[in-house]
């Protein structure tokens, strides 16, 4: 063998997981989770399950612990439920404070959760992101089941392959691409959401609709009033359809994002920045609605779409009950907002890549954004918002 040469390593790693849509997940009659554990059972091995749960969600579901315990009681030959749960706050602070992440890692260690045992996270997107990251790096990855409890996490973040925590004020700075082994969406969990969280997740559905599927946009447009009135059937259509589009995008593209393109981040450069500028006073989905509105207006100012299209977009958000302007957008002659572009590029890596619209239902990527046009778009948004409320 020559001492100056090259060995080329090539392989593919296969992933498969199901996203389930159900109701009354932990009722005795619902065999979904029991069937999952049975299917996954390994010879001569009794797995464990550790639960990480959102305390806000738990407060709205006080009978859940007893139901879950009873459910696992009947599965004790197959999987052992760790009786001590890790209870964490929901929202961004669970990603901001490393103590929560460490609490999960410590529990994985203390209860000897191994690579073939389960870490089950129950909560909104932030809890799933944090717990998923802890699961992904403990023992180089324990099996992670996600049970999203919000519209946003059931139709978007919870069904995907990413996890993360924030680090020194940088959103999602630490994280991995590691798919869960299952995602289980219980429609009943959405009924206890407050109005802001109910509404907030719909903006991600509008996002995928606007860049990929005009028919879905028109469905949302036609059902906006029913969605605003919290019609569960409308939501039961919206969530799986949005999740399906998200899953399709992941498998047909670049699942672990080795390239620079991130089409599903339409509206997100401004959204991420605005979340920080408001110190997370506005929620992710609310920020995304504003980001989508802003980049839609920008698309119009670039001559890509008509003003009539923009008006339809703003009108849907309006009917859904979103506020589309926040004073932080305009602060410091919009400079604070515009620095978000550079931070977004840095987080994605490579060349700046921003998704705009060239039609309703059709996105287009650009590699430059004009600061003055962004400023004009913010001004347009401010005026439009006032005008909308005056209708």
187-226 residues near its own copies, rule: CB under 8 A: 187
Instruction: Give least dist CB 97 to its own copies, A.
Output: 16
| Distance separating alpha carbons of residues 108 and 139, to the nearest angstrom | 9
Query: Which is nearer to its own copies, 333 or 339 (by Cβ)?
Result: 339
User: Which range binds its own copies by CB under 8 A, 14-22, 210-218, 293-301, 325-333?
Assistant: 14-22
Stretch that binds its own copies, among 58-66, 69-77, 172-180, 320-328 (CB under 8 A): 172-180
Q: How far apart are alpha carbons 100 and 134 in whole angstroms?
A: 10
* Residue 29 within binding range of its own copies, rule CB under 8 A: no
C-beta separation of 294 from 277 below 8 A? no
Compare residues 122 and 348 and give the one whose CB is closer to its own copies.
348
Give the integer Cα–Cα distance in Å for 225 and 222: 8
Binding mask 221-250 for its own copies (x = CB under 8 A): ------------x--xx--xx-xx--x--x
**Per-residue CA distances from 17 to 179, 181, 182, 237 (Å):** 8, 5, 5, 21
Stretch touching its own copies by CB under 8 A, among 19-27, 65-73, 202-210, 375-383: 19-27
Residue in 148, 191, 143 with CA at minimum distance from that of residue 39? 143
The kind and range of the H/E element at 57 are helix 55-60
Q: Applying CB under 8 A, which of residues 80, 172, 192, 278 lies at the interface with its own copies?
A: 172
Q: How many residues bind its own copies (CB under 8 A)?
A: 78
Q: List the end-to-end C-alpha distance of the chain, in Å, as a whole number.
A: 79
Q: Please report how close the Cβ of residue 165 comes to its own copies at its closest, in angstroms.
A: 9
Q: How far is the CB of 173 from its own copies (least distance, A)?
A: 7
Tell me which residues in 54-93 interact with its own copies (CB under 8 A): none
Q: Does 268 bind its own copies (CB under 8 A)?
A: no
How many whole angstroms separate alpha carbon 204 and alpha carbon 243? 10
Token pair for residue 131?
Answer: 């717990």
Site for its own copies in 333-352 (CB under 8 A): 345-351
**Residues 310, 316, 317, 319: what is their CA dihedral angle, to the nearest 10 degrees?**
140
Q: Identify which range of 59-67, 256-264, 279-287, 307-315 contacts its own copies by CB under 8 A.
A: 256-264
CA distance 297 to 303: 10
> Please, what is the minimum distance in Å from the beta carbon of residue 231 to its own copies?
12
Site string for its own copies, 110-149 (x = CB under 8 A): --x-xxxx---------------x--xxxxxxx-------
Tokens of 251: 């498998």
Binding flags for its own copies, 31-50, as an x/- string (CB under 8 A)? -----------xxxx-----
Q: Which is nearer to its own copies, 56 or 125 (CB)?
A: 125
The residues, any chain, with a CB within 8 Å of residue 366's CB and separated by 6 or more, are 302, 353, 354, 356
């Amino acid at each position: 063998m020559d001492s100056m040469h090259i060995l080329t390593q090539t392989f593919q790693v296969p992933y498969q997981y199901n996203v389930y849509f159900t109701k009354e997940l932990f009722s005795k009659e619902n065999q979904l989770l029991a069937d999952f554990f049975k299917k996954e059972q390994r010879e001569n091995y009794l797995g464990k399950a550790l639960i990480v749960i959102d305390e806000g969600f738990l407060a709205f579901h006080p009978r859940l612990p007893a139901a879950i315990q009873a459910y696992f009681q009947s599965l004790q030959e197959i999987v052992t439920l760790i009786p001590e749960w890790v209870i964490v706050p929901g929202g961004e602070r669970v990603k901001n404070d490393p103590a929560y992440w460490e609490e999960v890692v410590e529990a994985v260690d203390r209860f000897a959760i191994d690579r073939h045992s389960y870490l089950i996270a129950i909560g909104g997107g932030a809890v799933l992101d944090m717990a998923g990251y802890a699961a992904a790096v403990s023992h180089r990855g324990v099996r992670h089941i996600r049970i999203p409890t919000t519209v946003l996490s059931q139709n978007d973040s919870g069904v995907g392959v990413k996890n993360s925590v924030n680090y020194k004020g940088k959103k999602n700075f630490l994280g991995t691409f590691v798919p869960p082994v299952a995602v289980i969406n219980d429609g009943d969990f959405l009924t206890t959401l407050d109005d802001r969280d109910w509404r907030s997740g719909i903006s991600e559905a509008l996002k995928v609709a606007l860049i990929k599927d005009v028919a879905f946009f028109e469905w949302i447009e036609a059902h906006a009033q029913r969605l605003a009135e919290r019609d569960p059937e409308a939501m039961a259509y919206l969530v799986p359809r949005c999740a399906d589009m998200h899953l399709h995008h992941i498998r047909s593209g670049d699942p672990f994002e080795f390239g620079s393109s991130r089409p599903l981040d339409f509206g997100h450069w401004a959204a991420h920045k605005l979340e920080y500028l408001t110190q997370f006073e506005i929620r992710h989905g609310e920020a995304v609605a504003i980001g989508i509105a802003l980049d839609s207006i920008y698309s119009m100012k670039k001559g890509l779409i008509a003003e009539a299209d923009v008006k339809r977009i703003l009108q849907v958000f309006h009917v859904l009950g979103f506020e589309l302007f926040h004073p932080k957008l305009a602060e410091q002659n919009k400079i604070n907002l515009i620095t978000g572009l550079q931070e977004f590029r840095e987080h994605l890596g490579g060349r700046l890549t921003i998704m705009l619209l060239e039609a309703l239902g059709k996105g287009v990527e650009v590699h430059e954004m004009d600061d003055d046009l962004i400023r004009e778009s913010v001004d347009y948004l401010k005026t439009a918002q006032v005008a909308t409320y005056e209708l």
